Amino acid sequence: MTENCEKTLSDTVIIAWNPKSGRQSREILVRELMTRLQGENLVVHLESDLSAIKSLVESAKAESRLRCVVSAGGDGTIRLLADVLGSETPFALLPLGTENLLAKYLKVTAHPDEIAATIVANNCRKIDAARANGQLFLIVLSCGFDAEVVALTHKRRTGHIRKRSYVPSVLEAIRRYRYPPLKICADDLEWEVECRWAFIFNVPKYALDLAIVPDAVVDDGKLDVCTFAKGGLFSGLGYFFSVLFRQHRRFAKSRQFLASKIAIESDVPVAFQVDGDPGGTTPVEIKVLPQYLSLLIPLDK
């Protein structure tokens, strides 16, 4: 579903740049986008301080001049900006992160010319979001082994995260993680599942291009839940390859369903992650936010 955003006097673009996002500094792309937008007679502000970004947005909104905020970073960057700036702020994406799952889903590239054209066209799409214990997420929440890896990686983080940054955390989690059982209740007990791995998706794919919920729709007002029943390294490897070859939905030990409200509980605290960032530990309550976020996307998407 797409619609035109208000164009009257909306000539201000704020590029919110996360210089720590991705494999290395991508300042050259940010500067190129800024130049392209200025060439379209748009007023462009480049900022990396969150409080300064919020102030610029509030000022531009007060004058009805805000075209959009460009999230120049990864999935965690757009999540943070959307949470702080709210659902009334239109966004564009300059994907500079490690995975960029939302940008991949929307087929948004990191080419400044294409992003500038998208912003000039001002074509909006409304997408769902969700909150988990009050924390906004746009892409995925997972609970279990991979969330433990995310938590360990962020504890070690000193700068840019690369894919290889996760390797030490994976090895540590293999040694230490005990796969505590999780209990999932959804939509007032319409669904109740016990499992060791839980994934709550708003988009179809996960990291490494894994299509865990290939039928997920980003604006249907529902979250796609996928669970795996067994714990342990060998079970995990089996699940990984079943997902890789898109066979996991045939297994009795895997459950998939749609829900708008989800609760995850466990006897011991289990880590969960939201859009690649640590979210905390169970228990966690999740609720979908239909049509929460406005994103500028290419006209042919």
Q: What is the pLDDT of residues 212-238, one digit of tens each?
A: 999 999 999 999 999 999 999 999 999
Q: 240-244, 268-272, 291-295: which has the minimum mean pLDDT?
A: 240-244
Classify each residue of 173-208 as buried b or exposed e, where b means 16 or more C-beta atoms within 10 Å of its C-beta: beeebebeebbbbbeeeebebebbbbbbbbbbbbbe
- Phi, psi at residue 208, to the nearest 5°? 65, 20
In the predicted model, what is the mean pLDDT of residues 8-19?
A: 84
Amino acid at 10: S
Q: 2-16, 37-51, 235-249, 255-269: which has the minimum mean pLDDT?
A: 2-16
In the predicted model, what is the mean pLDDT of residues 201-215?
A: 90
Taking CA atoms, 1 is separated from 7, 63, 118, 139, 168, in Å, by: 19, 28, 16, 18, 42
Q: Quote the pLDDT of residue 5.
A: 52
Q: 23-27, 65-69, 191-195, 287-291: which has the minimum mean pLDDT?
A: 23-27
The domains located in the chain, with CATH, are: 2-132+292-296 (3.40.50.10330), 135-290 (2.60.200.40)
Residue 301 has pLDDT above 60, yes or no: no
Residue 11 has pLDDT above 90, yes or no: yes
Residue 192 has pLDDT above 90, yes or no: no
Q: Which residues contact 149 (CB under 8 A, 6 or more apart)?
A: 166, 169, 170, 173
Residue 7 has pLDDT above 60, yes or no: no
Q: Quote the pLDDT of residue 99.
A: 81
Q: 93-97, 119-123, 250-254: which has the minimum mean pLDDT?
A: 250-254
In the predicted model, what is the mean pLDDT of residues 236-252?
A: 88
Q: Quote the pLDDT of residue 21.
A: 65
Mean pLDDT of the chain: 90
Task: Read off the tokens for 155.
Answer: 């504890």
Q: Quote the pLDDT of residue 191.
A: 76
Taking CA atoms, 229 is separated from 195, 241, 258, 279, in Å, by: 4, 15, 18, 22
Amino acid at 71: S
Q: 6-10, 155-159, 238-242: which has the minimum mean pLDDT?
A: 6-10
Q: What is the largest CA-CA distance in the chain?
A: 58
In the predicted model, what is the mean pLDDT of residues 39-52?
A: 96
Q: What is the dihedral of CA 187, 192, 198, 200, to 10 degrees?
A: -10
Pick from 22, 138, 5, 157: nearest CA to 78: 138
Q: Quote the pLDDT of residue 249.
A: 84
Q: Quote the pLDDT of residue 97.
A: 85
Question: How does pLDDT run across 86-104, given as a tens digit for each residue?
Answer: 999 999 999 998 889 999 9
- Phi, psi at residue 277, to the nearest 5°? -115, 145
Taking CA atoms, 263 is separated from 97, 116, 165, 246, in Å, by: 29, 41, 31, 27
Share of the chain above pLDDT 70, in %: 93
In the predicted model, what is the mean pLDDT of residues 146-165?
A: 81
Under a CB-based contact definition with an 8 Å cutoff, are residues 191 and 204 in contact? no
Q: Quote the pLDDT of residue 8.
A: 45
Q: Does an H or E element contain 141, and which?
A: strand 140-143
Burial class (CB in 10 A: 0-12, 13-18, 19+), 223: buried
Under a CB-based contact definition with an 8 Å cutoff, are residues 31 and 39 in contact? no
Q: With a threshold of 0.95, does the pTM exceed it? A: no
Distance of CA 222 to the CA centre of its chain: 15
In the predicted model, what is the mean pLDDT of residues 267-276?
A: 96
